[in-house]
Amino acid sequence: MTAAKTIPDPDAADAPFAFTEANLAEARRILAKYPEGRDRSGVLPLLDLAQRQQGWISRGVVEAVAEITNTPPIRVWEVVTFYTMYNQHPIGRHHVQICTNLPCWLRGSDEIMRAAREVFGDAFGRTTDDGIATVSEVECLGACVNAPMVQIGDDYHEDLDYESAKALFQAIRHGRPVQAGSWADRQCSAPSGTRTTLTTDPTTPDGGKWIAADSPAVSAGGAD
């Protein structure tokens, strides 16, 4: 789900929107990727560009994107209301998205939710009173092998548990820097602990090879 499905401030919703000079140049660069007459293919990236400028998708954004892509505004609204990555109302300084889909739930996302409530209060689906964070419960974010995980802005924070999640949320709340990636000190999605495969230097002639101890290749002096 998104942080909210309604626009609470009609004045903000109706305010005109215009890309900055730099973002307008970027919008034109994006549209140049598509064949002539296919400007509407740029609706998604231009909505993302506008959201990065303003923080959310207002009616003014929809109308501006519709005009530059020669797309009926209702078609742009259909995109905005379909994809949960588009915010339909103003959000806080940080957008904290907690995945509670099946893999994350099996790996303990309830504890991540508990940590979030303790740090941010009952802020799910809305922005904290100090404007620091908007907290959302979301569906799969595609990092199941590193579950449970949280997305904050563009960054993934993975392999969380109650303690690490609470430390992460407290850092966000108090403006301290945080490091994205695994909070369990594992490399990307590699297995935890000692590696059992790809244990040799891939830059050497035998790089990437691994021979089981009971393999006939051991006595033969190697393997092709």
Give the pLDDT confidence score for residue 221 in this predicted structure.
56
Average pLDDT over residues 58-68: 96
In a domain, 134, yes or no: yes
Q: Are residues 52 and 118 in the same domain?
A: no
Are 24 and 74 part of one and the same domain?
yes
Residues 137 and 178 in one domain: yes
Average pLDDT over residues 47-51: 97
pLDDT of 211 over the 70 cut: no
Burial 92-128 (b: 16+ CB within 10 A, else e): bebbbbbbbbebbeebbbebbbebbeebbeebbebbb
Question: For residue 133, how many other CB atoms are within 10 A of its CB?
Answer: 22
Instruction: Identify whether 38 is part of a domain.
Output: yes
Instruction: Please indicate, yes or no, if residue 61 is contained in any of the structural domains.
Output: yes
pLDDT of residue 187: 80
Least confident of 45-49, 125-129, 158-162, 184-188: 184-188
For residues 15 and 63, state if they share a domain.
yes
CATH number at residue 52: 1.10.10
Is 156 in contact with 146 (CB distance < 8 Å)?
Answer: yes
Looking at residue 158, which CATH number applies to its domain?
3.40.30.10
Residue 222 reports pLDDT greater than 70: no
Structure tokens at 100: 């509670």
Residue 24 lies in domain: 10-82
| Per-residue pLDDT tens over the stretch 9-47 | 555 667 899 999 999 999 999 999 999 999 999 999 999
Identify residue 223 by its one-letter amino acid code.
Answer: A
Backbone angles phi, psi at 90, to 5 degrees: -60, 145
List phi, psi (to 5°) of 194.
Answer: -75, 135
Residue finishing a domain among 47, 82, 117 = 82
How much is the average pLDDT of 147-151?
Answer: 96
Where residue 8 falls among pLDDT bands split at 50, 70, 90? very low
Domain count, the chain: 2
pTM of the model: 0.76
Residue ending a domain, choose from 24, 57, 82: 82
Note the pLDDT tens digit of each residue in 119-140. 999 878 889 999 999 999 999 9
**In terms of domains, do 166 and 102 share one?**
yes
Q: Tell me how far apart the alpha carbons of residues 134 and 151 are, in angstroms, rounded to a whole number.
A: 12
Q: Which two tokens stand for residue 149?
A: 């995980």
Same domain, 44 and 116: no
One domain for residues 151 and 77: no
Are 109 and 170 found together in one domain? yes
The band of 186, judged by pLDDT with boundaries at 50, 70 and 90, is confident
Same domain membership, residue 167 and residue 112? yes
pLDDT bin (cut points 50, 70, 90) of residue 192 is: confident
59 and 126 assigned to the same domain: no
Question: Sheet harboring 150-152: ordered strands across?
Answer: 126-127, 133-138, 94-99, 150-152, 155-158, 181-182
Q: In the predicted model, is pLDDT for residue 203 greater than 70?
A: no
- pLDDT bucket at 4, cuts 50 / 70 / 90: very low
Is 219 within the bounds of a domain? no
Of 82, 114, 132, the position where a domain reaches its end is 82
Other Cβ atoms within 10 Å of 134 Cβ, number: 27
